[in-house]
Amino acid sequence: MKTGFSTNAFTEKSLLHGIDTISDIGYDGVELVLDTPHAFLPLNEKYLSEIKNCIKKNKIEIANLNANTVVGWYDNNTVIEKFEPSLSNKNEKLRQWRLNYTKKAIELADELESPSICLTSGISTKSEKQTCLRTFKKSLTELASFAETKNISIAIEYEPGLLIENSDDVYHVISQFNNVGLNLDVCHAAVLGEDISKIIKKFRKKIIHTHISDCKNNIHFHLIPGLGSIDFSAMYRSLKEINYEGSLTAELYTYSKNPEYAAKITFTYLKNLMLNHVY
């Protein structure tokens, strides 16, 4: 398994500073978040070249491209919902915009040699859930076909309150696709009271990428691993048992005031976790 860190902890710093720092600490990979303030698409050629050069200079891998949110869509206006417009939006014009945006994310993944992108389903009310699910599956079918031409995997991240809000929702959706699977966010699973080891054994090779953070008391607030109640030893053993070879990418946007500290402490935690489970 590889270690990774998401740049969404560095929203008060530049993206290039974030990549430099993550590499200097020793992480194998970095997750780029395709939204403001770092990388809302499309990127101009000069900035894209700077990102590529920074990645090359640091000899660091791209663990994943995170296309979950689109705060940048709102420009300077008030952000109504960071997940919208979504791939399940009932407004066809808005859905098409998000579909095209996600295709740009897939193209960038190909260009930056990222193995995957992750995405979310968007918001829906209970009364509209079945309609939104059909719309989401329609979007996913088109995206899966497009991603297959680039050899990019699509990882669905579920979250409490979203259309796809638990692991069972993801499992039902991905069954028809070869290159679509799960972005396992262990904090989201813990908030929902799910058994992380059972999820891992259920999805097996369909786990494409993993977001790491801790939490406690079922509260959705991302903590540095070890500060909450998640049993990371059990999680790691389960991932080893299914021969997971992807990244354990820390997602700690809650530490934007001091991302360097969060990245250092988390790196030490992850390395110790791996050392303590060498078979």
What is the set of domains in the chain, with CATH numbers? 2-275 (3.20.20.150)
% of the chain with per-residue pLDDT over 70? 98
Tokens, residue 130: 């079945």
Residue 78 has pLDDT above 80, yes or no: no
Helices and strands (H, E) in the chain, number of each type? 9, 8
Look over the chain and give the mean of its residue pLDDT values, rounded to a whole number: 95
- Evaluate the CA torsion angle 231, 237, 242, 244 in order and state its sign: positive
Instruction: Please state the rounded mean pLDDT for residues 133-143.
Output: 97
pLDDT digits (tens, 9 = 90+) for 39-71: 999 999 999 999 999 999 999 999 999 999 999
The 8-class DSSP code of residue 247 comes to E
Q: What is the pTM of this model?
A: 0.95
Residue 132 has pLDDT above 60, yes or no: yes
77: pLDDT confidence band, cut at 50, 70 and 90?
Answer: low
% of the chain with per-residue pLDDT over 90? 92
Instruction: Please state the rounded mean pLDDT for residues 238-247.
Output: 96
Residue 244 has pLDDT above 90, yes or no: yes
Q: Is 256 exposed, middle or buried (0-12, 13-18, 19+ CB in 10 A)?
A: middle
pLDDT digits (tens, 9 = 90+) for 172-231: 999 989 999 999 999 999 999 999 999 999 999 999 999 999 999 999 999 999 999 999
Chain centre distance of CA 260: 20
Distance, in Å, from the CA atom of 18 to the CA atom of 147, rounded to the nearest integer, reads 27
Number of other residues whose CB lies within 10 A of the CB of residue 14:
14
Q: Closest Cα to residue 62, out of 103, 143, 7?
A: 7
Tokens, residue 234: 């059990």
Q: What is the pLDDT of residue 278?
A: 55
Tell me whether the omega of the peptide bond preceding residue 37 falls within 30 degrees of 0, making it cis. Answer: yes
Tell me whether the omega of the peptide bond preceding residue 42 falls within 30 degrees of 0, making it cis. Answer: yes
Q: What is the pLDDT of residue 254?
A: 96
279: pLDDT confidence band, cut at 50, 70 and 90?
Answer: very low
Q: What is the pLDDT of residue 75?
A: 76
pLDDT digits (tens, 9 = 90+) for 89-112: 999 999 999 999 999 999 999 999
The residues, any chain, with a CB within 8 Å of residue 191's CB and separated by 6 or more, are 160, 215, 218, 219, 220
